Structure 1
Amino acid sequence: MNRTWLTEYRGERTHQQVADLANIDRSYYTQLESGIRNPSVETAKKVASALGFNWTLFFESDCVETNQTKGGIY
């Protein structure tokens, strides 16, 4: 599950630039953006603060996509 919405918030910044702003490892940020890993609340807040969005978007988006994939109604 690729987080395309996160790519849009990142804009022209590199993964390294976002990771530096959020004070996390670049590889971890890359995994978050590609959907390989899910952030903790603390990390979600750091990334959201660095890119200027509400941190709950990490979890809202995952819930909707997961539910739709399973054929549920959300």
Structure 2
Amino acid sequence: MTSHAETKRKELGLSQDEVAKRTRISRQYYNAIENKKRKPSVELAKCIASELGVDWTIFFAE
């Protein structure tokens, strides 16, 4: 199942590595967030959401 973050990232033509670098985290950590294996802090969720142009609360939806 594809996450909303992954769909949006791909629409923007960004790699996981690019998003990770822009938000100053590792690609592995970003991958875990995107695949719902880890939840980011609210601050990080807002940062990633800003890069992707999505609502930051998507990272906390079930």
Unpaired stretches in structure 2, ≥5 consecutive residues: none
Size of the alignment, in residue pairs? 60
In structure 1, distance between residues paired with 2:56 and 2:45: 5
Structure 2 counterpart of 1:26: 27
CA RMSD of aligned residues (A): 1.4
In structure 2, distance between residues paired with 1:51 and 1:39: 15
Structure 2 counterpart of 1:70: none
Unpaired stretches in structure 1, ≥5 consecutive residues: 63-74
Large movers: runs of 4+ above 2 Å: none
Name which structure has the greater RCO, CA cutoff 8 Å, separation 6+.
2
Q: Percent identity?
A: 38
TM-score relative to the length of structure 2: 0.82
Structure 1 counterpart of 2:37: 36
Structure 1 counterpart of 2:54: 53
Q: Which has the larger radius of gyration?
A: 1
TM-score relative to the length of structure 1: 0.71
SS of the residue 2:59 aligns to: helix
In structure 1, distance between residues paired with 2:53 and 2:32: 19
